[in-house]
Amino acid sequence: MSALLEVKGVTGGYSASHAVIEDVSFRIQKNEIVALIGLNGAGKSTTIKHILGLLEPQKGEISIAGRTFFDDPDSYRHAYAYIPESPIYYEELTLWEHLELAAMSHGLSKEEWEERSLPLLKEFRMEAAKDRFPQQFSKGMRQKLMIMMALMVQPSLYIVDEPILGLDPLGIRTLLTWLARCKEQGAGILMSTHILATAEKYCDRFIILHKGRIKAQGTLDELRQSTGMTGHSLDDIYLHLVEEE
Amino acid sequence: MMDVDALFRERMQRFSAELIRYGQYMANGGVLMVAVFLCGLLAYYYPSLVQAIPSWVPVPYLLALVYAFFVTKTLHRTFLLEADLIFLTPAETKMDRYFQKTQVYNFVVQSIGLFLILLLFLPVYQGKVGMTGAQGWLYWGVPLILKGWNVYSSWIILRLPDKKRQTRYTLARFILTYYVLAWMLSQGSFLAYQHVPYGAVVWMVLLVWLMIRIQSIVKRHRYQWYSLLEMENRLRLRFYQIANQFRDVPSLQLRVKPRRWLLWTAQLIPYGKANAARTLYLKLFLRSDDLAGIYLRLVVISSLLILILPGALGKLAVIAVFLLMSASQLKGMGGQARHRSQTFLLPINEEQRKAAAVWVRRVLLLVQGAVNLLIGLAVWKW
């Protein structure tokens, strides 16, 4: 069985002469949440842009459910939902219209759209903002708009970039429980984050990216074994790994 | 030591460089041709329109109202930047010289606009009231002097922190301006009995009161930096919005209007994956401040012209020219730089986007043509 997401030996970046990430390989299977961890500038966002099909790898290949971006760009883009680090939205559309258009463009029926989006509005306590424009929102509310758009589509793969920053504590809890539920239902989730305590609690595996290369990857136990740091937290292991040099 | 003269020169250079840059695009945009065409059309029908004004209309007083509006409406560009609130405020007392220069700038620019208004209505005044001898000098000179006084006094009134009080003083300026203009245009018969202008007594009292108040405002209040900056930003945005009709302005902040009364049109498009791009582009258009605003104005103006102009040929020419104008305005739709970052927010590919933009454009032109045609047929003498 092919993995949900497979990144195979990817080298790439914004220009051909200067590679930001080098020989990055990992897989994400169904029913798991994988954390992508790294310092500022480690290459997390570059990796994610390659997965989204916004950057073209210089070497290597990325496939979602066995298909690359070049095989079929449209179905590749439909296969995932992306929650960006800084919210992207149309100033001209209200919150509800964003949800409607996301539903339309992903091919959801009208009934599915209403069935899924109303509970989301309630859970993220955004019902009052339904007909307002995101320009009047705070950063956290815009982030919630991005999250709701992604969760409503219910894809098999979620790519989540730093979801926690800017969210209020209730929003964080709602997001994480919702993602855990998606995982139970068979989705795979790649989540980039700085907040290691949260990652340790919610993620099944960890990919530690450092200076554009994968420094280590595996479950917490596997990381403990390979570093010989039995009983240590993810925080300790991570700091140990990046401070080695 | 801060050199406010150099600062003003630098700000003016920056602005004129932008003006020249966007001015070139505007001149190349075909708008000049349309303007010449419209002026020709106006010149052709103008005399008969002037003749059609019934004799009971008090032309001098109405013209005074129009002129007084443009003379009193005084906006102050200051070329201030956001960072000035931090860097220039320490030199606040030296800024007087700088602001004197911006006042001269504003006077010159607004006088040009005023001159064009005076020119536009000159045939009406000549045809209905008549102009002889010194009256010609007064017709041009008095409004410009009043403009100068309005620039000076409104600048001081801007020091008031309270917007309500500002409005009261603006009203006083308007009344003072209107009285002089009406008196001049009616050749001395406004609020006068046997050529003695009794209205002038009231006018003098109001003027003295206003000048005393203005002196006390200067003593009591300093510059309102935030409202000055806000006005500057608003005026700059307006300039960019005009320029944006011809060329994408990168620094343009997008303004959105909810326009709930137009939303039903977007709801005519049925729900479905195939219609996602069309719904998106129609809504982007309906909510846009610039594009939809211009389109609606073009539809209204063309319809009015069709109502006014006699003869089928004139009407047809208006329909054709305004359709061309709308088409050239709507050409930029969907291509704006600001939409580029959102392309991966929704899984709609490039072809679908382009096709949807073309579709929305066609629908809008069709609607405009249909509205024009219906109005043309309604007023046609069968």
pLDDT tens-place string over residues B223-240: 888 889 989 988 988 888
pLDDT surpassing 70 at residue A113: yes
Question: How many residues in chain A?
Answer: 245
| Helical (H) or strand (E) element with B135 | helix B135-157
Closest CA to B49 of B302, B307, B297: B307
- Pick from B272, B280, B349: CB nearest A73: B349
Q: What is the pLDDT of residues B297-312, one digit of tens each?
A: 889 989 988 887 777 8
On chain B, the residues whose CB falls within 8 A of the CB of A107 are 273
Query: How much is the pLDDT for B29?
Result: 61
Closest CA to A235 of A213, A214, A211, A206: A206
What is each CA distance from A190 to A33, A163, A210, B370, in whole angstroms? 6, 11, 17, 53
Q: Where in chain A is the domain with CATH 3.40.50.300?
A: 5-79+155-243
Query: How much is the pLDDT for B337?
Result: 46
Q: Does A101 touch chain B (CB under 8 A)?
A: yes
On whether ipTM exceeds 0.85, the answer is: no
Q: What is the pLDDT of residues B196-225, one digit of tens each?
A: 778 888 899 999 999 999 999 999 998 888
pLDDT surpassing 60 at residue A45: yes
CB contact under 8 A, A74 and B349: yes
- Pick from A54, A105, A110: CB nearest B348: A105
Q: What is the pLDDT of residues B311-340, one digit of tens each?
A: 788 888 889 989 998 888 888 776 654 555
Tokens standing for residue B121: 């209505």
On chain A, the residues whose CB falls within 8 A of the CB of B279 are 100-101, 104
- Pick from B258, B279, B345: CB nearest A104: B279
For residue A25, give the 3-state DSSP assignment: strand
Closest CA to B224 of B155, B170, B169: B155
- Pick from B271, B273, B342: CB nearest A88: B342
For residue A67, give the 3-state DSSP assignment: strand
> How many whole angstroms separate alpha carbon B360 and alpha carbon B279?
9
Instruction: Please give the full DSSP string across B298-323, using - where no structure is assigned.
Output: HHHHHHHHHHH--SHHHHHHHHHHHH
Bridge partners, residue A218, by sequence = A206
Radius of gyration of chain A from its Cα atoms, rounded to whole angstroms: 18
On chain A, the residues whose CB falls within 8 A of the CB of B271 are 100, 104, 110
Query: How much is the pLDDT for A100?
Result: 93
Q: Are A120 and A171 within 8 A, CB to CB?
A: no
> How many whole angstroms separate alpha carbon B50 and alpha carbon B56?
13
| Helical (H) or strand (E) element with B371 | helix B350-379
| Helical (H) or strand (E) element with A23 | strand A21-28
Read off the pTM: 0.69
pLDDT surpassing 70 at residue B247: no
Best probe of the A interface among B265, B282, B345, by most A CBs < 10 A, is B345
CB contact under 8 A, A77 and B344: yes
Closest CA to B347 of A153, A116, A188: A153
- Cα atoms found within 13 Å of the Cα of residue B376, Cβ hemisphere only: 21
Q: Are A100 and A149 within 8 A, CB to CB?
A: no
Give the gap in angstroms from C-alpha A91 to the nearest C-alpha of chain B.
7
Instruction: Please give the full DSSP string across B207-230, using - where no structure is assigned.
Output: HHHHHHHHHHHHHH----HHHHHH
pLDDT surpassing 50 at residue A37: yes
Contacts for B14 with CB less than 8 Å, ≥ 6 apart? B79
Query: How much is the pLDDT for B130?
Result: 82
What is each CA distance from B296 to A175, B104, B301, in whole angstroms? 43, 35, 9
> How many whole angstroms separate alpha carbon A110 and alpha carbon A168?
31
Q: Are B6 and B231 within 8 A, CB to CB?
A: no
Query: How much is the pLDDT for B317?
Result: 87
What CATH number labels A5-79+155-243? 3.40.50.300
Give the gap in angstroms from C-alpha B280 to the nearest C-alpha of chain A.
7
Could you tell me how far CA A123 lies from the centroid of its own chain?
20
Query: How much is the pLDDT for B75?
Result: 93
What is the rounded average pLDDT of the residues A146-161?
A: 93
Instruction: Please give the full DSSP string across A168-224, using - where no structure is assigned.
Output: -HHHHHHHHHHHHHHHHTT-EEEEEES-HHHHHHH-SEEEEEETTEEEEEE-HHHHH
Q: What is the pLDDT of residues B249-292, one digit of tens each?
A: 666 656 788 888 888 888 899 998 889 999 999 998 898 877 88
Per-domain residue ranges of chain B: 4-243, 254-379
Query: How much is the pLDDT for B88?
Result: 84
What is the rounded average pLDDT of the residues A29-36?
A: 95
Q: Does A77 touch chain B (CB under 8 A)?
A: yes
Q: Are A199 and A10 within 8 A, CB to CB?
A: no
> How many whole angstroms separate alpha carbon A57 and alpha carbon B379?
65
Contacts for B82 with CB less than 8 Å, ≥ 6 apart? B229
